């Protein structure tokens, strides 16, 4: 099962700014091939400091919201089939890109409509999303895209580096649930996604609740 910790942009502002601008420079340069883009991007593991979600934020319990472990079936989305796991990192990038909508290698960014407005997906970001091969996150790319466009909830979560991110919560009629992380950079940009179980996903339902697709009686 995937780890319950999502990596994020580096703590110091200047380092985070530098990393993001390298991503943007790469995908805006039409002369670069995908391979060159990947070689020029800074390694996530090298850049990232150990940052985490700030403790003590208001939680779903404080708002008397339903527990994902016992969530009513009518509030869940029908389970979506897994994509076959790739055999290596390069193939995982291509599989994920195809399911996200990058149907042509020349496409370097896409925009997805969500309840929180448009979210940009950079092809270069897929590199770190599927980098941990033990997790094989490409298997759940369909859940990730579905959670972006039709989340159960969206929370604005504070992190220890002083930034906020959006946590898109996806609840499904299956063991695997979905967490999608969106950062604020030149609008809103997909940063990561991970599959998890309901108990672990509950831990990410804190901060400021910005959206829920259900009404409590």
pLDDT tens-digit readout, 48-58: 447 889 999 99
pLDDT at 186: 87
Checking if the pLDDT of 195 tops 80, the result is yes
Q: How many CB atoms lie within 10 A of CB 87?
A: 10
| Tens digit of each residue's pLDDT (9 = 90 or more) over 89-145 | 999 999 999 999 999 999 999 999 999 999 999 999 999 999 999 999 999 999 999
67-70: long-range pairs with CB below 8 Å, 24+: 67/198, 67/202, 68/169, 68/171, 68/177, 68/198, 68/199, 68/201, 68/202, 68/205, 69/198, 69/199, 69/202
pLDDT, one tens digit per residue, over 47-84 is 444 788 999 999 999 999 999 999 999 999 999 999 99
Length of the chain: 217
**Nearest CA to 193 among 154, 118, 141, 156?**
141
Confidence of residue 217 (pLDDT cuts 50, 70, 90): low
Could you say which DSSP state residue 30 is in?
T
Average pLDDT over residues 149-163: 96
Please list the residues that pair with 178 across neighbouring strands.
Answer: 170, 195
């Amino acid at each position: 099962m995937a780890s319950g910790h999502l990596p994020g942009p580096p703590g110091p502002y200047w380092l985070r700014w530098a990393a993001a601008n390298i991503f943007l420079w790469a995908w805006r340069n039409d002369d670069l091939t995908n391979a060159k883009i990947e070689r020029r991007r800074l390694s996530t593991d090298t850049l990232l400091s150990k940052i985490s979600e700030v403790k003590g934020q208001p939680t779903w319990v404080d708002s008397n919201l339903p527990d994902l472990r016992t969530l009513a079936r009518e509030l869940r989305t029908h389970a979506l089939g897994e994509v076959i796991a790739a055999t290596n990192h390069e193939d995982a990038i291509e599989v994920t890109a195809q399911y996200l909508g990058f149907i042509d290698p020349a496409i370097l960014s896409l925009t997805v409509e969500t309840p929180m407005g448009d979210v940009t997906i950079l092809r270069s970001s897929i590199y770190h999303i599927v980098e941990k091969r033990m997790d094989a996150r490409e298997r759940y790319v369909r859940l990730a895209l579905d959670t972006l466009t039709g989340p159960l909830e969206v929370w604005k979560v504070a992190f220890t580096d002083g930034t906020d991110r959006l946590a898109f919560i996806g609840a499904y009629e299956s063991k695997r649930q979905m967490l999608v992380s969106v950062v604020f950079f030149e609008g809103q940009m997909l940063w990561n996604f991970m599959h998890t179980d309901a108990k672990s996903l509950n831990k990410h339902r804190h901060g400021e609740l910005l959206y829920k697709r259900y009404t409590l009686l």
